[in-house]
Amino acid sequence: MEHHTTSNWTLTRTSRTHAGGRAEHAAIICEGRTTTYGKLHRDSNRAAHALRDAGIGPGDRVAYLGRESENYYLTILACAKAGAVLVPVNWRLTQGEVDHILRDSGAVLLFVDDEFWETADRVRPQLPGLRTVVRVDGTDSEGEPARGAGLPAWYADHPTTDLEPGTGPDDAVVQIYTSGTTGLPKGAVLAHRSFFTLPAAMREHGADWLDWLPDDVSLISLPGFGIAGIGWFMHTFNAGGTSVVMPQFIPQEAVRLIREHGVTITFAAPAMLQMMMAERGAGPAAFTSLRKIAYGAAPMSETLLERCLAVFGCQFAQIYASTETGSVAVCLPPEAHRPGTGLLKSVGRPCPGNEVKVIGPDGESLPPGETGQICVRTPSRMLGYWNLPEATERTVVGEWLHMGDAGYLDEDGYVYLRDRMNDTIIVAGQNIYPAEVEKALAAHPAVADAAVVGLPDPHWGEAVHAVVVPRPGATVKPRELLVALRAHLADYKIPSAFHFAEDLPRNPSGKILRRAVRDRLTAEAPPAAERLTLPVQRRDSARTASLPPQRQHA
């Protein structure tokens, strides 16, 4: 395949190139259905013509509410070819949250799966600007295909000829709404270049930390409405590889797909890898095709890495990114994934073409070792937040993207995260970063997962609370955890209360939603003065509280 730079490449041009050079190669495999690059190009051309006939013009927002499938990715290409901007909607959201995204984006057309038709039908009357709603799968109440319905029927009579939207690498193509961990989701507008700069820079610098090859088979197991899912697909698509798309992550199904289709690369959160390894038949023999796994959203302990290396038997790369960066900003390459190196505490070094600095409250750069706010300069970053110029100016200062994470750089340029700036716990004037405590808890053999938050304390301002998910079949008591933590943490960092739960709330990218954890604790616990009776300096009498079981949610 032709290697290219990002100077003039768009998703439209890539689709045309693959249709000419690898038309019969599988582009997408989903639930047993295979879509070749030739068919994907022709069908997305038809859909682009249909969009134009529906009055969709350059810059118009087109929303998609549905699970990941060939139809979803076809729609992205159709929007690109029509000059429109796709707005993926998180299908896990409530009706009110869906309404916010459709209203905020000003979407004029909505594609929706039958599964979510009721939600769309309820919000549509409140959105006069939403002119058209297209049912994607067109099934009836019994799940059988409905005659003349569905996305293929909607564009079937349109030509397969190429469209030239007149857009370039710096024009908007996708508007992804942030997870909203600190308020209402904001629409981060990404240009075509976001999906080209990283692979091009890797090739230019001869780095193979992350690479997508034409003969790769890539498992897409994260939702496409977030940057992790859509980004991983787009990098595979631009390379000409095959994407095996999961409408929803199910560990047993992921193991089967890897074995059945000879998956070579994938991206997953550490918790997803743990679930896969727990499946029956998930031994090394099931993963012989894998050459590389990228992971992110949470750090990986050395204990978990050793298990992953033994079971998956391939290279690992950690990535640090956000919706706003548009692509991977920092990477811990495979060669750093060796137990005992100490580098596993880092998220890696800036990817080729990117820069990282750490600033203090005055905005000045801090020297190595000092904790401050992490800032990234990358050519893949967002164009800005949709209709939020002030929020954009706070996040993008000059050419630097302020990440909202606290961390530091070492002398060799490796980036170490402390935590989210707004998740920092302050106990009697001392800063405590939850991720550090969570990592220490995760090292305990009986702990499967952990979340650490700060709750108000009448004496110390805040107190550290830990929510622990025990491993299946394991039992663990607070005293055991206290003894284990004392060997790794300063006394003031050790939780003053432990809560136990079946699982933790996470966003679609796998990040712990600490705000949701705090809300659950606050709702279930007694008033603060009664709840937090343990002095911060004493740990020998930590009490236990029970957090009611709650299923994982976005």
State the pLDDT confidence band at 298, using cuts at 50, 70 and 90.
Answer: low
3 state SS for 115-178: HHHHHHHHHHHHCCCCCEEEECCCECCCCCECCCCCHHHHHCCCCCCCCCCCCCCCCEEEEEEC
The residue type found at 221 is S
pLDDT, residue 207, reads: 94
Distances (CA, A) of 453 to 164, 320, 381, 404, 449: 51, 22, 30, 17, 14
Residue at which a domain ends, from 154, 176, 205: 205
Please state, in angstroms and rounded to a whole number, the distance separating the CA atoms of residues 237 and 37: 9
The 8-class DSSP code of residue 73 comes to: H
Q: Confirm whether 268 is domain-assigned.
A: no
Say which range, 34-38, 353-357, 477-481, has the weakest mean pLDDT: 477-481
Alpha-carbon dihedral 45, 48, 49, 55, rounded to 10 degrees:
180
Mean pLDDT of the chain: 87
Question: Cβ atoms within 10 A of the Cβ of 243, count?
Answer: 25
pTM listed for this prediction: 0.79
Q: Confirm whether 242 is domain-assigned.
A: no
Which CATH number characterizes residue 34's domain? 3.40.50.12780
Is residue 7 pLDDT above 70, yes or no?
no
The closest of 102, 415, 31 to 247, measured between CA atoms, is 31
Please state, in angstroms and rounded to a whole number, the distance separating the CA atoms of residues 255 and 276: 6
Say which range, 8-22, 350-364, 418-432, 489-503, has the weakest mean pLDDT: 418-432
pLDDT, residue 486, reads: 87
Question: Cβ atoms within 10 A of the Cβ of 140, count?
Answer: 11
Q: Which two tokens stand for residue 105?
A: 């984006």
Q: Which two tokens stand for residue 220?
A: 């897409």
CB 330 within 8 A of CB 350: yes
CA angle 88, 187, 391 (to 5 degrees): 170
Please state, in angstroms and rounded to a whole number, the distance separating the CA atoms of residues 233 and 240: 11
Distances (CA, A) of 543 to 495, 531, 538: 10, 10, 11
Pairing state of beta strands 109-112 and 132-135? Answer: parallel
Q: Confirm whether 374 is domain-assigned.
A: no
The 8-class DSSP code of residue 548 comes to: P
Please state, in angstroms and rounded to a whole number, the distance separating the CA atoms of residues 203 and 316: 19
Burial bucket for residue 164 (CB in 10 Å: 0-12, 13-18, 19+) = exposed
Say which range, 257-261, 420-424, 492-496, has the weakest mean pLDDT: 420-424
Q: pLDDT tens digits, residue range 175-215?
A: 999 865 455 789 999 999 999 999 999 999 999 999 999 99
Q: Confirm whether 394 is domain-assigned.
A: no
Q: Which residue has the tokens 């095996």?
A: 244
Question: Cβ atoms within 10 A of the Cβ of 34, count?
Answer: 13
Q: Confirm whether 178 is domain-assigned.
A: yes
| DSSP codes joined into one string, 380-417 | T--SEETT-HHHHHHHEETTEEEEEEEEEE-TT--EEE
Q: Where are the beta strands (DSSP E) in 122-210?
A: 132-135, 172-177, 187-191
Segment of 105-109, 270-274, 448-452, 462-466 carrying the highest mean pLDDT: 105-109
Is residue 141 pLDDT above 50, yes or no?
no
Number of domains present in the structure of the chain:
2
Please state, in angstroms and rounded to a whole number, the distance separating the CA atoms of residues 191 and 473: 48
Q: Confirm whether 371 is domain-assigned.
A: no
pLDDT, residue 419, reads: 66
Q: Confirm whether 338 is domain-assigned.
A: no
CB 380 within 8 A of CB 198: yes
Which CATH number characterizes residue 475's domain? 3.30.300.30
CA angle 29, 64, 104 (to 5 degrees): 150
Residue at which a domain ends, from 205, 234, 251: 205
CB 454 within 8 A of CB 536: no
Please state, in angstroms and rounded to a whole number, the distance separating the CA atoms of residues 545 and 259: 42
CB 85 within 8 A of CB 129: no
Q: Confirm whether 345 is domain-assigned.
A: no
Q: pLDDT tens digits, residue range 307-366?
A: 999 999 999 999 999 999 999 999 999 999 987 777 888 999 999 999 999 999 899 999
Helix (H) or strand (E) holding 89: strand 85-89
Please state, in angstroms and rounded to a whole number, the distance separating the CA atoms of residues 357 and 408: 8
> What residues have CB less than 8 Å from 206, skipping those under 6 apart?
none
Residue at which a domain ends, from 150, 176, 205: 205
Say which range, 188-202, 244-258, 535-549, has the weakest mean pLDDT: 535-549
pLDDT, residue 3, reads: 39
* Helices assigned H by DSSP within 240-348: 251-261, 270-277, 302-312
Please state, in angstroms and rounded to a whole number, the distance separating the CA atoms of residues 44 and 48: 6
pLDDT, residue 535, reads: 31
Please state, in angstroms and rounded to a whole number, the distance separating the CA atoms of residues 3 and 86: 27
Helix (H) or strand (E) holding 72: helix 70-82
| Residue numbers of the domain that contains 431 | 424-546
Q: pLDDT tens digits, residue range 482-515?
A: 999 988 887 878 999 999 999 998 876 677 888 8
The values of phi and psi at residue 475, to 5°, are -125, 145
The values of phi and psi at residue 39, to 5°, are -65, -40
Please state, in angstroms and rounded to a whole number, the distance separating the CA atoms of residues 334 and 352: 15
State the pLDDT confidence band at 431, using cuts at 50, 70 and 90.
Answer: low
